[in-house]
Amino acid sequence: MLAPLAGLLALSEPRTVREWAWLVVAVGASGVWLAQQGSQTAQVVRAAAVLLAGAYIALTIWQPAPGWRRSVLTVLIAGAALNILMERAGIAWSGLQPQVAHQVRAIAQLAPAGYGARVVASADRLAAFFPAFLAVIGGAGTRLAWTWHCRLAERPIGERFCSGEFNS
């Protein structure tokens, strides 16, 4: 969400201290997150985030559009690009599932007694939906970035879409 927000704020030609502060925070936080080391799954998530942010900004420059349409198109473009990238790198979604299931189990251990056991038992099934979770999170993240951009920017891109009239 922060990388698309940074791009949107930069494109809206920031003038106020508030816009610049948010832009610096969004770029800095995105940079720190992207620079972290991690598992193959974490690297795939970071690659997905970069592709998603790039596709969202490119679509915004090309043709600002209301609501979920641009977010859905962004997710489709970024998903296709990620699949091509993964194929070229020799990474399969099925190969990531055991890593995702392991991470789900590790996180579930932190939950209260009754809840964690249910999550641990269904970790493999949850891991099978990892690509879908990425898509939903990506769509929601771009939507949230757009909403924040409309609230933070003095002159948002596609300003007529920020009024709420076209925002569905």
In this predicted model, what pLDDT tens digit does every residue of 151-167 receive, in sequence order?
898 888 876 677 655 44
Report, as an integer, the average pLDDT of 101-119.
81
Residue 57 pLDDT level (bands cut at 50, 70, 90): very high
Rounded to two decimals, the pTM is 0.84
**Per-domain boundaries in the chain:** 2-90+139-162
What's residue 163's pLDDT?
A: 67
| CA pair distance 92, 83, nearest whole angstrom | 9
Q: What is the mean pLDDT of the chain?
A: 88
Phi-psi region of 164 (alpha: psi -120 to 50; beta: other; left: phi over 0): left
Per-residue pLDDT, averaged over 78-83, amounts to 97
Say yes or no to pLDDT of 66 above 70: no
